[in-house]
Amino acid sequence: MAAKADIQATRVAGTATSTVVISAPVRLKGIIVASSGGGAGLVQLNTDSSSGGTNLFTADVPTGDVINFSLPEDGILFPNGVYISTATNVTAVTLLTDKFSGPNLTGQNG
């Protein structure tokens, strides 16, 4: 399947919890998560860094494994950027997103 737009890859260490990974509005198109092998991995992505941020994506990773997940169609809109609220037993997370300066990054998903 051909990509419809430019894709940006942003990698962050699994220890970067409570961290804004991308501060601009962006659509998540895919994610790669590597478990550290210390147990099953878990990653949660929220809309912003406030305690009231909404969880928009959660990924579970088997112990010592890597997942690569592509989101269908337009992906998931993160209107305030992507914030990692939880990263347990994770070595690294790579977010595949629209380019940060791309058009139509506001409004509803879909």
Range 4-19 average pLDDT: 78
Considering the domain boundaries, does residue 33 fall inside one?
yes
Considering the domain boundaries, does residue 1 fall inside one?
no
Considering the domain boundaries, does residue 29 fall inside one?
yes
Considering the domain boundaries, does residue 105 fall inside one?
no
**Residue 67 pLDDT:** 94
CATH number at residue 77: 2.60.120
**Residue 108 pLDDT:** 40
Statement: residue 62 has pLDDT above 60: yes
* CA 25/CA 65 separation, integer angstroms: 30
pLDDT cut 70: percent of the chain above it:
83
SS3 23: coil
Q: pLDDT class for 1, splitting at 50, 70, 90? A: very low
Domain that holds residue 74: 7-98
Asked whether the beta carbons of 13 and 94 are under 8 A apart, the reply is no
Closest CA to 93 of 28, 39, 5, 25: 28
Considering the domain boundaries, does residue 109 fall inside one?
no
Tally of domains within the chain: 1
Statement: residue 23 has pLDDT above 90: no
